[in-house]
């Protein structure tokens, strides 16, 4: 009985490495506790900055960052995939993930809406979602992405 309890506890702890309230930074990373977390397998290209004027204080950022900020409420659960040289973490993170609900994969949410691109080492599902977003001309696939050297208007 005691061994069964230990195995059950270990399986539950393996569901995620860490969780907490997430703050979305302007570069698209998350601050969870004292960890800087980059979503694993994606790249968020620069787009023209947008502002949310209906919130206070006004939040201005890239469109992908605002989409991430919009969906990131409550506790976020993450599984660490890699550590970067700067000490930040690459992780797969979910909103509302429980033992009974798979939750919402934040990277998949961004890719599906066209605000992030799947990196070459990303899961197959991310690659497929990117192709669908591209075919549907969603997000960055629906308008030209701003160039870094392009002057702001």
Class of domain 15-140: mainly beta
**pLDDT, position 11:** 38
Report field, pTM of the whole predicted structure over 0.85 = no
Among 141, 102, 95, 96, CA closest to 118: 141
Q: Which whole number is the average pLDDT over 94-123? A: 94
**pLDDT, position 143:** 62
Tokens of 96: 């509302």
**pLDDT, position 153:** 39
The Cα 75–Cα 62 span in angstroms is: 23
User: Residue 138: is its pLDDT beyond 90?
Assistant: yes
Q: Which whole number is the average pLDDT over 30-43? A: 96
User: Residue 144: is its pLDDT beyond 90?
Assistant: no
- For residue range 46-98, list pLDDT tens digits in order: 887 777 777 667 778 888 999 999 899 878 999 999 999 999 999 999 999 88
User: Residue 23: is its pLDDT beyond 80?
Assistant: yes
């Amino acid at each position: 009985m005691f061994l069964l309890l230990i195995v059950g506890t270990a399986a539950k702890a393996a569901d995620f490495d860490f969780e907490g309230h997430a703050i979305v930074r302007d570069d698209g990373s998350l601050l969870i506790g004292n960890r800087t977390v980059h979503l694993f397998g994606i790249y968020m290209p620069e787009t023209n900055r947008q502002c949310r004027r209906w919130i206070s204080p006004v939040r201005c950022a890239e469109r992908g960052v605002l989409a991430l900020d919009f969906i990131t409420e409550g506790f976020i659960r993450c599984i660490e995939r890699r550590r970067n040289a700067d000490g930040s973490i690459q992780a797969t993170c979910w909103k509302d993930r429980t033992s009974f609900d798979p939750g919402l994969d934040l990277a998949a949410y961004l890719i599906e809406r066209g605000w992030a691109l799947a990196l070459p080492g990303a899961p197959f599902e991310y690659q497929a979602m990117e192709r669908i977003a591209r075919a549907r001309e969603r997000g960055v696939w629906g308008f030209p992405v701003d160039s870094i050297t392009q002057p702001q208007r």
